[in-house]
């Protein structure tokens, strides 16, 4: 069990401790608080210290909890701040601003409070005298260009006149709030900082290791973003390039990489940079010949052998190439990809799971040319193969975990120069047909949309659709129509693929009317009243709009066309074995 040191402390008892030495480590994010957060902190402290603007209403025994600070002692004895950086930094700025304001005040309370603030900002000797050259905090944040301004502010209390850093902006804001307070409560001025020091409580949590501290942070944190694995990797890169004398160059390259990742990978459970490192990990696993279906956690994988993969020459270049590749996919880059490739990538964008992104990352890194481009014909063949297999497997053996065996095998084959074929995992046509016939293609299942998207592009006339446009699943024979007319002998026909089609969200909303004659006019952009609207960009919709009727026979017939077309696709990709 991990050992923790937890003991709530006042601001003064925490910061005046002679042994304390805080470090904002290199893997932390830059200071991010702005005036809004500073205003909130100030208001909270002021209302606590002066209830109803009344000094006498304050209870000296009252305490105000400001939150926790999670740290761990590194090998140099510094307390690395994992959680609480923003709050701790702002509190020190507040104390420094008060300290300056007391410089010309000679009353005893002001002098005593100023001396206590000194002990919180600077290290002190045996007799409690402050050494103005040694702060209680340091910052090594790799991507924070303004960290030195923070340290200079604490040392001197002077800000650069033309600075626009968050530290300086917030410091000026705090100075303004202190001036307003002094104007309104001059006779009680020392009491506010005294109450901050003596009655505001922090819960310092000191963990025995960085891993434990990060886990605690993830558990406690409900505001802001927790540290990502990529933040830890950034620190390793920073140290590596620092040893090469290339820190400044690295910082610029990292910032560029973060921006590309931000514009490329959707925000989900993982940060954009974590997603990039995950896709690179699958390539590295494949190079190791690792076919195991048990995937290590991202940080566990990269920290092996003292982060050897991050210290390989060219690792940053590979990550950048991979990020730019996926940026081109995300933005449907016509300069990089042919129409055939872009259409196939659009279909895979609606794949039933994200496994295709991992194997495609491996394919790209293994087969890219010096220009980071791929052979167009070979790439089309690869995309056809994984589309056919992944879509079929999602119906034959649902669940992303089931897909790991065949996909991980093919990743290793790719880096070994073996053509992707899923040769060990081909489908028995009879069994797969049975799976398709018995599968419930409900709208809630991802593979329903996958199959409809694939089918839309079996029509050669189908133009490339924008990946950012929202498409819904449309019931051609409306559920409401069945309720009113009861025209289908079998209610289950409503949920057959043959009764469903991909349709733009805006058109889908208008096409909610149950009458087919009205629906097909809406598909084509025709309105009963007013100006006509845009027609659907789904080519097949325009064919359906030419039908006189769309009843059960049409649903069943179209369902058979979709199934037969997909099995022909599987046969062309040599993924079926002969049924007996």
Q: Tell me: the pLDDT tens digits for 482-509?
A: 888 888 888 889 999 999 999 999 888 8
pTM for this entry? 0.75
Task: Return the pLDDT at 525.
Answer: 84
**φ, ψ at 92 (rounded to 5°):** -65, -35
pLDDT band per the 50, 70, 90 thresholds, residue 227? low
Please say if the pLDDT value at position 367 is more than 90.
Answer: yes
- DSSP classification of residue 464: P
Quick check: 270 and 228 in contact, CB under 8 A? yes
Q: What is the pLDDT of residue 222?
A: 44
- Tell me which residue has tokens 């926790």: 68
Residue range 43-68, pLDDT digits in tens: 999 988 888 776 677 778 889 999 88
Q: Is the pLDDT of residue 1 over 50?
A: no
State the pLDDT confidence band at 569, using cuts at 50, 70 and 90: very high
Q: Is the pLDDT of residue 194 over 70?
A: yes
Q: In whole angstroms, give the CA distance from residue 191 to residue 178.
A: 12
pLDDT tier, 223 (very low <50, low <70, confident <90, very high otherwise): very low
pLDDT of residue 170: 95
Span 241-255, mean pLDDT?
Answer: 87
Beta strands at 22-24 and 122-124: parallel, antiparallel or unpaired: unpaired
- The set of long-range contacts for 567-573, using a CB threshold of 8 Å and a minimum separation of 24, is 567/429, 567/432, 567/433, 569/384, 569/388, 569/454, 569/458, 570/388, 570/392, 570/427, 570/432, 573/384, 573/385, 573/388, 573/389
Query: Among the ranges 99-113, 213-227, 295-309, 428-442, which has the highest mean pLDDT value?
Result: 428-442
pLDDT at 235 over 90: no
- Residue of 78 and 579 predicted with greater confidence: 78
Question: Among 289, 138, 116, 270, which Cα is nearest to 195's?
Answer: 116
pLDDT above 90 (res 206): no
The candidate with the shortest Cα–Cα distance to 330, out of 257, 263, 385, 256, is 263
Distance CA 230, CA 209 (A): 18
Helix residue spans in 133-221 (DSSP H): 147-156, 166-184, 191-199, 210-220
Q: Is the pLDDT of residue 539 over 60?
A: yes
Give me the mean pLDDT over the 107-127 stretch. 90
Q: How far apart are CA 13 and CA 487, in angstroms?
A: 79
Q: Looking at 2-6, 345-349, 361-365, 398-402, which range is the least confident one? A: 2-6
Structure tokens at 76: 């140099």
CA atoms of 212 and 204, how far apart (whole Å):
14
Residue 530 banded pLDDT, cuts 50, 70, 90:
low
Confidence at residue 298, expressed as pLDDT on a 0 to 100 scale: 92
What is the pLDDT at residue 33? 93
Average pLDDT for the chain: 89
Sheet strands (E) in 364-481: 427-428, 471-475
Band of residue 524 on the pLDDT scale cut at 50, 70, 90: confident
pLDDT at 358: 97
**CA–CA gap between residue 183 and residue 176 (Å, rounded):** 11
Q: What local confidence, expressed as pLDDT, does residue 122 receive?
A: 94
Q: What percentage of the chain has pLDDT greater than the value 90?
A: 62
Residues 440 and 451: their CA atoms lie apart, in Å, by: 13
4: pLDDT strictly greater than 70: no
- Is the Cβ–Cβ distance between 427 and 579 less than 8 Å? no
| Confidence band for 150, pLDDT divided at 50, 70 and 90 | very high
């Amino acid at each position: 069990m991990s050992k923790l040191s937890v003991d709530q402390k006042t601001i003064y008892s925490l910061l005046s401790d002679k042994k304390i030495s805080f470090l904002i480590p290199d893997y932390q994010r830059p200071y991010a608080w702005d005036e809004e957060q500073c205003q909130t902190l100030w208001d909270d402290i002021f209302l606590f210290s002066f209830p109803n603007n009344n000094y006498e209403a304050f209870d000296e025994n009252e305490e105000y909890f400001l939150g926790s600070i999670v740290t761990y002692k590194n090998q140099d004895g510094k307390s690395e701040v994992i959680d609480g950086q923003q709050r701790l930094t702002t509190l020190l700025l507040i104390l420094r601003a008060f300290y300056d304001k007391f410089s010309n005040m000679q009353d005893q309370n002001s002098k005593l409070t100023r001396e206590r603030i000194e002990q919180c900002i600077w290290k002190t000797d045996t007799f409690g005298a402050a050494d103005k050259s040694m702060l209680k905090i340091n910052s090594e944040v790799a991507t924070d260009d303004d960290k030195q301004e923070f340290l200079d502010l604490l040392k001197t209390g002077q800000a650069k006149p033309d600075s626009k850093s968050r530290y300086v902006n917030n410091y000026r804001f705090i100075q303004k709030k202190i001036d307003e307070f002094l104007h309104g409560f001059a006779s009680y001025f020392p009491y506010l900082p005294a109450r901050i020091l003596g009655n505001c409580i922090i819960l310092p949590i000191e963990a025995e290791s960085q891993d434990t501290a990060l886990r605690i942070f993830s558990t406690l944190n409900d505001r802001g973003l927790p540290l990502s694995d990529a933040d830890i990797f950034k620190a390793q890169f920073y140290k590596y390039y620092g040893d090469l004398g290339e820190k400044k160059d690295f910082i610029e390259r990292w910032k560029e990489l973060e921006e590309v990742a931000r514009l490329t990978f959707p925000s989900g459970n993982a940060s954009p940079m974590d997603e990039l490192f995950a896709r690179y990990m699958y390539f590295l696993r494949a190079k190791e010949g690792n076919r195991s279906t048990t995937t290590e956690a991202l940080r566990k994988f990269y920290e092996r052998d003292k982060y050897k993969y991050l210290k390989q020459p060219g690792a940053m270049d590979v990550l950048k190439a991979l990020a730019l590749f996926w940026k081109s996919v995300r933005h449907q880059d016509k300069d990089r990809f042919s129409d055939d490739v872009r259409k196939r990538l659009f279909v895979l964008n609606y794949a039933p799971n994200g496994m295709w992104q991992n194997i495609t990352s491996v394919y790209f890194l293994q087969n890219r040319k010096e220009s980071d481009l791929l052979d167009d014909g070979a790439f089309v063949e690869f995309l056809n193969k994984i589309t056919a297999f992944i879509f079929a497997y999602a119906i034959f053996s649902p669940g992303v975990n089931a897909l790991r065996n065949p996909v991980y095998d093919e990743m290793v084959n790719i880096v070994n120069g073996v053509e992707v074929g899923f040769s060990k995992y081909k489908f028995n046509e009879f069994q797969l047909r049975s799976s398709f016939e018995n599968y419930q293609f409900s709208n809630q299942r991802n593979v329903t949309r996958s199959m409809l998207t694939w089918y839309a592009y079996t029509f050669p006339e189908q133009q490339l659709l924008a990946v950012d446009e929202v498409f819904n699943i449309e019931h051609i024979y409306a559920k409401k129509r069945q309720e009113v007319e009861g025209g289908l002998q079998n209610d289950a026909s409503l949920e057959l693929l043959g009764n469903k089609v991909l349709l733009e969200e805006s058109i889908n909303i208008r096409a909610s009317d149950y009458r087919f004659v009205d629906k097909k006019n809406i598909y084509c952009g025709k309105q009963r009243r007013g100006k006509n609207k845009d027609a659907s960009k789904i080519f097949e919709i325009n064919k359906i709009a030419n039908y006189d009727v769309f009843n059960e026979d049409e649903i069943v017939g179209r369902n058979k066309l979709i199934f037969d077309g997909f099995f022909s696709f599987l046969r062309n990709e040599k993924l079926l074995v002969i049924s007996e």
